[in-house]
Amino acid sequence: MYRILSLFVFTLLVLQASSQDTLPNFSVRNVGNNRIIIGWTSTYENVKQISIQRSFDSLKGYTSILTVADPLSPQNGYVDTKAPNDHMFYRIYILLDKGFFLFSAAKKPVLDTVQRASINTPGVGRPGSDSTTLNGHNRPPTGFVPSLYVFTHRDGYVRVNLPDDEKPKKYSLKFFDEDNTALFEIKEVKEKSFKIDKTNFYHGGWFYFELYEDEKLIERHKFYLAKDF
């Protein structure tokens, strides 16, 4: 059983890693509602800093809009909700050991019709909608991309990272088991970035969540917790 689960987790990681570009390549997606998602996979072992920069021009005038909290995280990203328009240029600044650094190529957002539909279509991302099975366990379809709002962190905790909006907004979260059983709800999220101990979910496997902004559903998605407790 342990070998089967280990194989499943390894397969999951391979699928997730293949779905995002590896630094210095990265993805920039326009998912609508003034949200630009910048995401990447990192294989750097000696990286000291990773920053996202934005500009009206592809060659100059860049300003840093975010320095990620954990540059060693294998998968990372950011939701830009403050861009002046949806055709800005983005690049990644990467600081390595001993003062070496590099910039990625500049990119403009690509319209993501799948993610835009998932925000507005009832039932998308809920149990049974798009998963297959492997040795009795659910696994993501090819091209699965973890949420940038709620995801499994490398330390085993569930990480919540909400948009940094200028105007105060009320966020709430609902969590569900694999069979759509309601687990618990955070009715008013007080912090923009925090962790949820995995013991709150009682077991390993797939879990689903719904994220609400001012009582409006903005994302339905899922995450996987390894069975080690």
pLDDT of residue 74: 82
Average pLDDT, the chain: 79
138-156 tens-digit pLDDT: 444 444 577 888 988 777 7
Q: Does residue 88 carry a pLDDT above 50?
A: yes
Neighbours of 173 (CB within 10 A): 19
Which fold, 2-17+113-225? Immunoglobulin-like (2.60.40)
Provide the 3-class DSSP secondary structure of residue 94. Answer: strand
Band (pLDDT 50/70/90 cuts) for residue 199 is: confident
Model pLDDT for residues 14-57, shown as the tens digit of each residue: 444 444 579 999 999 998 888 899 989 888 988 999 999 999 99
Residue 167: the pLDDT is 78
The CATH number for 20-111, chosen from 3.30.470.10, 3.30.590.10, 3.40.50.720, 2.60.40.10, is 2.60.40.10
pTM passes above 0.75: no
**Residue linked to tokens 């070998």:** 3
- CATH 2.60.40.10 segments of the chain: 20-111
pLDDT at site 117 = 53
Q: Which of 42, 115, 39 is nearest to 79 (CA)?
A: 39
Q: What is the Cα–Cα distance from 51 to 37, expressed in whole angstroms?
A: 14
Nearest to 219 by CA among 145, 115, 141: 115
